Amino acid sequence: MQVNVDQDRCCSSGQCVLAAPEVFDQSDDDGLVRLRQPSPGPDLAADVRLAAALCPGGAISVTGDS
């Protein structure tokens, strides 16, 4: 699984951090998403896909099967 974030689309809602805190964080300065793990393991796949689905700005993209 490969995760990418587009900070230009991020609206700082924090839903990604709530869904997958191991993979996403937010900047203290502007609240924009920070990617902690661009290639999370299969154990985090469901959480990452949920985070992508919950993102109101559509800033998270996920590729791969894991």
2-63: CATH, from 3.10.290.10, 3.30.460.20, 3.40.50.1220, 3.30.70.20: 3.30.70.20
Mean pLDDT over residues 34-45, rounded? 97
Q: Which residues contact 53 (CB under 8 A, 6 or more apart)?
A: none
Q: Report the C-alpha gap between 36 and 31 in whole angstroms.
A: 14
Q: Report the C-alpha gap between 61 and 24 in whole angstroms.
A: 13
Q: Is the pLDDT of residue 30 over 90?
A: yes
Q: Is the pLDDT of residue 65 over 90?
A: no
Domain ranges of the chain: 2-63
Q: Is the pLDDT of residue 28 over 70?
A: yes
Q: How confident is the model at residue 66 (pLDDT cuts 50, 70, 90)?
A: low
pLDDT in tens, 45-59: 999 999 999 999 999
